[in-house]
Structure 1
Amino acid sequence: MFANIGWGEMLILVMAGLVILGPERLPGAIRWTSSALRQARDYISGATSQLREDLGPEFEDLRQPLSELQKLRGMTPRAALTKHLLDGDDSILTGKFDEKPVSQPLPTPAPAPAPPAVTPFDSDAT
């Protein structure tokens, strides 16, 4: 639930609670909040187990599309590129690919023609 909240945000919340509630009521508010979250988690797990008992094998049929949606939520552009275009090999994106020795030397390119020494100038064009 609070996976995206870091220590800095937690510190700001505690400081705001300290200013708003005061030092005498803050520990009670923290205890109440933690017990309410624990109780809500227990209710949710109880409801899930009750659904599992009532629906039986149909519960897994209900969970399958939800798990597929969860996989899509975690699909970042990099993960999609790696999965679909690179067949799961992200060595190109990370730069951690193994250099394989080349068995044949590469052909040398033909020399390009030299550019003209003086650039042509057309006084009528300007």
Structure 2
Amino acid sequence: MFDSIGWAEILVLLVVGLFVLGPERLPGAAAWLGRAIRQVREYATGARDQLRNELGPEFDELRRPLEDLRGLRDFNPRTAVRRTLFEDGPAPGQNGSTTGGAAGNGAGIGSQATGPAAPRLAPGERPPIDPDAT
């Protein structure tokens, strides 16, 4: 849960809470927040277990696209651009996809390339533009 929140942000929230609520009510508010988060987690776990029991093996098929989306969260644009611009051969990308060379233009991130690789442009040559796509 606190993957994207660092200690500095937590400290800022505590200081703001101290000023807003005061030192008397801050521990009670923190305890209430902890209980609320715990209850939401229990509800989510219960709902997931109930869906798993009702759907059976189909539940895993429903979760697979969500797992693919979680893989995009770990996507590093700098690595993708570096791989696309400076590596000639296809390199394995996120989730088993292949991107690389001049064909890896970012349009097929997360999917398999289906067509042949586009030829490299000569220095100073303008790329072809599809007016319907822009």
Amino acid at match of 1:39: Q
TM-score by length of 1: 0.61
Give the structure 1 partner of residue 101 of structure 2. Answer: none
Q: Aligned to 1:22, what secondary structure does the other structure show?
A: helix
Take 1:31 and 1:77, find their aligned partners in 2: how far apart are those partners? 39
1:27 corresponds to 2:27: yes
What's the C-alpha RMSD, in Å, of the aligned pairs?
A: 2.0
Point out where structure 2 has 5 or more consecutive residues left out of the alignment: 94-134
Tell me the CA shift for residue 2 of structure 1.
2.4
TM-score by length of 2: 0.58
Take 2:48 and 2:20, find their aligned partners in 1: how far apart are those partners? 37
Q: In terms of mean alpha carbon deviation, does 73-82 or 26-35 score higher? A: 73-82
Take 1:20 and 1:87, find their aligned partners in 2: how far apart are those partners? 51
Which structure has the larger Rg over C-alpha atoms?
Answer: 1
Q: Aligned to 1:25, what secondary structure does the other structure show?
A: helix
Q: Deviations over 1:51-78 (max 9, x none)?
A: 0000001101111121122222322124
Give the structure 1 partner of residue 39 of structure 2. Answer: 39
Give the structure 2 partner of residue 17 of structure 1. Answer: 17
Take 1:13 and 1:74, find their aligned partners in 2: how far apart are those partners? 26
Q: Within 5 Å, give how 1:1-126 maps onto structure 2.
A: 1-80=1-80, 81=83, 85-87=90-92
Take 1:79 and 1:66, find their aligned partners in 2: how far apart are those partners? 23
Take 1:42 and 1:34, find their aligned partners in 2: how far apart are those partners? 12
Amino acid at match of 1:50: Q
Moved over 4 A (4+): none
The change in CA–CA distance for 1:79 and 1:85 in structure 2 (over 3 A counts) is farther
Q: Which has the higher contact order (CA 8 A, sep 6+)?
A: 2
Point out where structure 1 has 5 or more consecutive residues left out of the alignment: 89-126
